[in-house]
Structures are given as C-alpha cells and as structure tokens.
Amino acid sequence: MRWFFYNLFFAIAYFALLPHFLLRMKKRGGYRAHFAERFGKYTPDIARRLAEKPRVWIHAVSVGEANLAGQIIRELRNRNPGFSCILSTTSSTGRAVCEKIAGPDDVLVYLPVDFPVCVRRMLSIANISAMVITETELWPNLLRSAHARKIPLLLANGRVSDHSAPGYRRLRFFFGPVLHCFDTILVQSELDRSRLLAAGGPDDRIHVSGSVKFDITPPSAAKTAAAIETLSIAGITPGTDCILLGGSTWPGEELALANAWRTLSPKFPNVRLVLVPRHFERGNELAAELSNHGFSVIRRSKPNAPIAPVGTPSSPILLVDTTGELFALYSQADIVFVGKTLDPNAGGQNMIEPASFAKPVLCGPHTENFLPVMEIFRKADAIREIASADELLPALTDLLEHPEKRIALGQRAGQTVAASRGALARTADAIAALVQP
C-alpha cells in the first residue's frame, strides 16, 4: 500500500513541477537533448549498447556527484583497463561533466524518472552487473525493481544532511525497506551511519569508508594550461597577480566578494578577482548585477565583449560562466572562497578541491552538506570560517597583510587532504566484490 501512495504522490508532484522543469530546460538549454531517455526510451544505437554486455551502472545526480563518479571510474579502470560502465545523471550540467568522463566504451544516459513503467523499461533493456548510487539519492521504484531483478546495489560516499535526517527518521517505515535493497552502503562518517540506522537501514551492511572526495586526482597538464589561458583573458598572471577566486558561488556571494575586493584594491592593487558561479546560466544576470554596481566584467563565455561601466576600477573581474574549469583554476588561486555558504544560501560546495592544492580556503557558516569533511578540517585548523558577509573583508585583509598566515593555512589544508585519503580504494574494493562471479 505504501508504494501505491508513493507512486500517486510522486505523479502529482512531478506534474505539478513540470512547468518549472520546462522553464529550467529553456533557461539552461541542455535539457531538451536526449529528453526521451528520462522516460526509459532510447535510440536504437543506445539501446543496443545498453544490452550488448554486462556493465556496472554508476549514477551521479549532478556536477559534484559526476566528478565523484569520475574518480571511481578512473580507479576501476586503473585496476582493469577494460572496465566499462553505464553512466547516468539527472541534470544537463551533470551530463556535460559526464561527457568528459565517459570513455568510448561507456554508455551515457539520463536516469529514468521514478515511474514504475519508466524504470522497468530501462532495466529490461540494460545488461547490468551491479548498480552504484553516489551520495544518497534514494529512488524507491528504481532500487526496489533492481533488487527484485537481483542486481547487486551499492551506495557510495553516502551522507545524510542535518536537513534530511529528521525526515528519514520519521519515515523509517518508508525508507527502511528501500535501504534494505542495498547489498552494501558506504558512508562518510559515523554520524551518517547512525542516521541511516535511525532511518531503518541494515546494521550489517552500513560501513564507514570516509569521503571519496578526499581522493581527488590533480588536473592534467592540459587542463592546468587551459586554466592559465582562461586567466589571461582578463590579463591575470599567476605568480604575479594575487588571485582571489570565488568558487561555486551562489546569489549574493559574488557581490559580497566584489565589494570586499573593491575596498582592498587601493591597498593591494595586485589582487585580482575571479568568480566562478555554480550555475553558468546565471552569467547574463550576474554580469548585469556587477555592472550595475560599477564593476568592469570580462566573461569567459564572451571574452571579446567586456562590460566596462564608466568609473570602474582599471582591473576587470573575470567571470567564468562556463563548466568544467573550476578545479584547474583552483590550482592557480592564492585565496579561495567556497560558495553556497553565506546567507541566504545553505549547504555548501566542495572545499576539498581547493584544499588539495594547499590553498587557504574561506567559507561561510553554512556547510551542512559537508559536515564530516568540515569536522576534519576544523580539527586540523585547516579552513577559515566566517559568520557572515560582513566578516569577509576583515578575513581577506588579515590573509593579505600576513602572507605567513595564508601560507600556513594552505599547508594545513593540503596536509589534511593527504591524510584523509583511502575511501576511493575501499569503494573500488566493494564494487569489485559485488561483480565477482
């Protein structure tokens, strides 16, 4: 009976939100391509490839999970060069990242919507040796159908946020049976394990493996060179200029960084500001907002059309409104602010990436999506947290006036990442155990 009501409410919610999805499709401009895949319908070529041989199906919701899936795939290929997978995602931005990750023998598709008919259609076509879900995205029909077909299931890098934990606990009668579909559940911390147990998860199958995100692989020399070329668009030279980079920023954070930078510029004229918003489609509105506040802006997507209002500082802000460049850009930064951490935003973005380059990292108070990671950084005094946007200027001033503090903070960050590695190997071991004959 519970699944009848789930399917009923899911259908109502889906069609109620459909106008929002269609609007986002139009805005982002990538959702329309391969749209039928969301309903388990594939071109003859994709259908043939899905069925041709057993593959591990790895699902990544969006950009962050796609990067994590890329780490897992690279590790599995290092162990077995012939490894190939089905790689699915939910968002168009996630698919753009997956296109760069997928090898020629992999099959890239959108995850089918969690209607029984769509899920069954996908599972009846694909030849799946095991299914790996990254983070914690629990689609009941998908997981129950895969379990019924005896497809081994693994949850990788699982986590439960402060926001989600009470709901999981209250609805354990619903989530418990879904969690019991998994053969193995790997979570980031003891806190995540206790929260899944409270949600009705199986005690003997939930294991703490740490965060795979610590096992990050440095960007290639080509991507590093491309990052330097991107900076050159705005006349920024690593090593000569002091690069302040706002990574995966959300509304309000870009303007806060820009205002702090403008105040700092007279005293620190070599500081240059680079903004990389989490959603590249905000490029138009963000460029207009900065321009309206008197800033000169050069957009990565339109380098030959700088926006330079009268009376702006001589140095423009570089707005990187593209995807796939942030990680390599972190390697060239001198100070990094990690976005989605200042009011009114919440949750936080990945602070491990800049820390892996031994960069001094600043963030706001809202890092709920990275609780275990933040505890590790806090214990090592390897990250600097500010309570609000008002503290951004004093924190930046302190790091610029005291280079030794900046260097020491970055060194502690790099050492913390290095000491926290190992989850990737444990995840690959668990996947290998599932697919062994």
Would you say residue 182 has pLDDT above 60? yes
Band (247; pLDDT cuts 50, 70, 90): very high
418: number of Cβ within 10 Å:
12
- Segment 259-299, tens digit of pLDDT: 999 999 999 999 999 999 999 889 999 999 999 999 999 99
- Segment 3-48, tens digit of pLDDT: 898 989 888 988 888 787 777 666 665 556 788 999 999 999 999 9
Three-point CA angle 240, 407, 343, nearest 5°? 95
Q: How far apart are CA 39 and CA 96, in angstroms?
A: 20
Burial class (CB in 10 A: 0-12, 13-18, 19+), 432: middle
Beta-carbon contacts of residue 231 (< 8 Å; ≥ 6 apart): 237, 238, 243, 274, 318, 329, 332
For 347: left if phi > 0, alpha if psi spans -120 to 50, otherwise beta; the answer is left
Considering the chain, what is the average pLDDT of its residues? 93
Task: Average the pLDDT over 126-133 and give the result.
Answer: 97
Sheet with 271-277: list strands edge to edge. 297-299, 317-319, 271-277, 242-249, 335-338, 361-363, 384-385
Question: CA torsion 188→193→195→197, rounded to 10°?
Answer: 150
What pLDDT score was predicted for residue 249? 98
Band (1; pLDDT cuts 50, 70, 90): confident
Helical residues (DSSP H) of 29-164, grouped into ranges: 44-51, 63-79, 92-101, 116-125, 140-148
Is 248 within 8 Å of 345 (Cβ atoms)? Answer: no
What pLDDT score was predicted for residue 303? 80
Would you say residue 212 has pLDDT above 90? yes
Is 323 within 8 Å of 280 (Cβ atoms)? Answer: yes
Q: How far apart are CA 213 and CA 416, in angstroms?
A: 12
Q: How far apart are CA 183 and CA 162, in angstroms?
A: 25
Q: How far apart are CA 199 and CA 208, in angstroms?
A: 16
Task: Average the pLDDT over 348-363 and give the result.
Answer: 97
Question: CA torsion 33→39→45→49, rounded to 10°?
Answer: 120
The residue to which tokens 């004093």 are assigned: 394
Is 60 within 8 Å of 138 (Cβ atoms)? Answer: no
Would you say residue 311 has pLDDT above 60? no
CA neighbor of 297 nearest in space, from 285, 40, 343: 285
